[in-house]
Amino acid sequence: MNLEKIPAVILCGGKSSRMKQDKCFLKIKNKSLIQYQYEKLNKIFNKVYISTKIDKFDKKFPNLILDDEALYSPMLALYTSLKTFNDSFVFICAVDMPNISKIEIQALFEKINLSKAVIPKTKDGIHCLCGFYHSSLSSLCENFLKKDIHKIKLFAKEAKAYELEFKNDKAFLNLNFYEDYLKNV
């Protein structure tokens, strides 16, 4: 299996409530964060999709995955993304992780034979919204949603995700607060 043949999905349908503005449109290297992530992942994967609630990008991106429900939940975004594909691993990455690079992605990819989910782990903990998930896990997502459980860490535990340790915390930094953005861009 080749890394580039696996689909990649950028999750960007969240509320951005802690940021107090839509993270997708924050500027990084003179581009919107979504454009920056899309271009970076397009150099690694043949096909990059964007998971969102609505097309807020003026049809700039051809491959959108729209959530089935209005609910704001990373579990829903993961479910909608995984059920889009048949018998395939999918690389999932939150839009607010601008420091992820091909080095980390390749290291995660090299472990996909160990589990149906491979996610990074650093001293800060596990980073569930970055990693490889097999599309067959969509049914587990659906079960969590039916039980109104939205914690991706619980899902990763249930899926027996392989946690690959990394020393570089900065690669998996989430821009959750505006201060994070100002300090790290």
For residue 13, the model assigns a pLDDT of 63
Count the Cβ atoms, other than its own, within 10 Å of residue 36. Answer: 17
How does residue 185 score in pLDDT terms, banded at 50, 70 and 90?
low
Domain extent for 113: 3-184
pLDDT digits (tens, 9 = 90+) for 26-73: 888 899 999 999 999 999 999 999 999 888 888 888 899 988 776 778
Name, in order, each residue with C-beta under 8 angstroms of 28's C-beta and a sequence gap of 6 or more. Answer: 36, 98, 185
Picking from 149, 10, 127, 25, the residue whose alpha carbon sits closest to that of residue 76 is: 149
User: For the domain that residue 133 is a member of, what is the CATH number?
Assistant: 3.90.550.10
pTM: 0.93
For residue 14, the model assigns a pLDDT of 60
